[in-house]
């Protein structure tokens, strides 16, 4: 019975992990995308994980049927990925529901205070030098790092960091001065 699963590849101890990868990678990716509906990138990640699991066993001769082992590993990894994605989607949906409830529960007073604070910050931003405001917005709104902003603007990361710090300090000072702490 065990011989039925044995592969002629098991007897071929001269094959490297790279040989197996070249032979089965595309086939396994197609399997993961067609059976589980994974994207190409997800399928490639799953196949890569399967080969990472196979790597320590490749030279040991413990795996009699390499192809079957890789298919089973890709199958299990695909199922695990789908479960993780479902958990993420469920969590995101629960957060979305919480946010909607919070927005719905915002009373007129809270909305008015929020608008006042937004106006205060907006006026503070427009009072500061253009360069400082631009660097702050690139960092806090666009989410760029100091290094990325420095590269784009032809400045040093230290200069960018100092401008952003001064801009934030100005906003905090204005909030404190107007009771928006």
Mean pLDDT of 123-135: 90
Mean pLDDT of the chain: 84
If pLDDT is split at 50, 70 and 90, which confidence band does 149 have?
very high
Residue 165 has pLDDT above 60, yes or no: yes
Lowest mean pLDDT among 14-28, 99-113, 136-150: 99-113
Torsion (CA) 9, 42, 32, 37 in degrees, nearest 10: 180
In this predicted model, what pLDDT tens digit does every residue of 2-32 receive, in sequence order? 334 444 444 455 688 889 999 999 999 999 9
Share of the chain above pLDDT 70, in %: 85
Overall domain count for the chain: 2
6/95 same-domain check: yes
Q: Which of 92, 91, 82 is nearest to 37 (CA)?
A: 82
pLDDT value, residue 4:
40
Distance CA 67, CA 78 (A): 16
Q: How far, in Å, are 36, 43, 46, 85 from residue 80 at the CA level?
A: 11, 12, 10, 9
In this predicted model, what pLDDT tens digit does every residue of 31-85 receive, in sequence order? 999 999 999 999 999 999 999 999 988 877 788 899 999 999 999 999 999 999 8
95/126 same-domain check: no
Residue 122 is part of a domain; what is its CATH number? 1.10.10.10
Residue corresponding to tokens 């080969």: 51
User: Under a CB-based contact definition with an 8 Å cutoff, are residues 162 and 173 in contact?
Assistant: no
Q: What domain range is 120 assigned to? A: 108-177
Per-residue buried b or exposed e for 16-33, using 16+ beta carbons within 10 Å of the residue's own CB: ebeebbeebbeebbebbb
Residue 15 is part of a domain; what is its CATH number? 1.10.1740
User: Under a CB-based contact definition with an 8 Å cutoff, are residues 160 and 153 in contact?
Assistant: yes
pLDDT value, residue 143:
87
85/123 same-domain check: no
Encode 93-129 in three state secondary structure.
HHHHHHHHHHHHHCCHHHHHHHHHHHHHHHHHHHHCC
Q: Which of 117, 131, 129 is nearest to 174 (CA)?
A: 117
94/128 same-domain check: no
Domain-terminating residue out of 64, 99, 134: 99
């Amino acid at each position: 019975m065990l011989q039925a699963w044995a592969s002629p590849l098991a007897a071929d101890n001269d094959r490297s992990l790279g040989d197996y990868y070249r032979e089965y990678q595309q086939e396994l990716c197609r399997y993961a995308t067609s059976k589980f509906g994974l994207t190409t990138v997800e399928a490639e990640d799953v196949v890569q994980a399967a080969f990472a699991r196979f790597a320590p066993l490749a030279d040991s001769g413990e795996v009699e049927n390499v192809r079957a082992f890789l298919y089973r590993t890709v199958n299990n990894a695909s199922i695990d990925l789908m479960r993780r994605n479902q958990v993420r989607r469920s969590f995101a949906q629960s957060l979305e529901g919480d946010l909607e409830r919070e927005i719905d529960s915002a009373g007129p007073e809270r909305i008015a205070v929020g608008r006042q604070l937004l106006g205060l910050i907006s006026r503070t931003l427009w009072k500061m030098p253009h360069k400082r405001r631009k660097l702050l917005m690139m960092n806090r709104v666009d989410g760029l790092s100091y290094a990325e902003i420095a590269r784009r603007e032809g400045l040093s990361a230290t200069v960018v960091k100092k401008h952003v710090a001064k801009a934030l300090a100005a906003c905090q000072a204005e909030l404190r001065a107007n009771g928006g702490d």
